[in-house]
């Protein structure tokens, strides 16, 4: 279990290194974060996002406060 922590004007949580390694992620990688209709939060690595995922009716994207780049 992870505790949500205040970071500046945002809130975040740490992702354990074993989970990062298993997911093939590293610090600096881009992910898409979605709130699913059932209330769960889904984190999708950019390299795994299918081209048609933007139109999925099962999930909705949570807008970021700032986006550094468009993808």
Which tokens is 10 given?
A: 């945002």
CATH topology of domain 5-61: Pemi-like Protein 1; Chain: D (2.10.260)
Q: Where are the domains of the chain?
A: 5-61
- The residue whose two tokens read 């093939």 is 24
Tens digit of pLDDT per residue, the chain (71 long)? Answer: 889 999 999 999 999 999 999 999 999 898 999 999 999 999 988 876 666 655 554 545 555 544 444 44
Determine the Cα–Cα distance for residues 33 and 42; give it in Å rounded to an integer.
6
Q: What is the 3-state composition of the chain as percent helix, strand, coil, each rounded to the nearest 5?
A: 20, 30, 55
pTM for this structure? Answer: 0.57
């Amino acid at each position: 279990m992870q505790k949500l922590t205040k970071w500046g004007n945002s809130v975040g949580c740490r992702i354990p290194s074993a989970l990062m390694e298993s997911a093939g992620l590293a610090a600096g990688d881009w992910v898409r974060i979605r709130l699913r209709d059932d209330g769960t939060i889904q984190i999708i690595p950019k390299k795994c996002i299918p081209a048609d995922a933007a139109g999925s009716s099962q999930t909705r994207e949570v807008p970021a406060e700032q986006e550094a780049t468009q993808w």
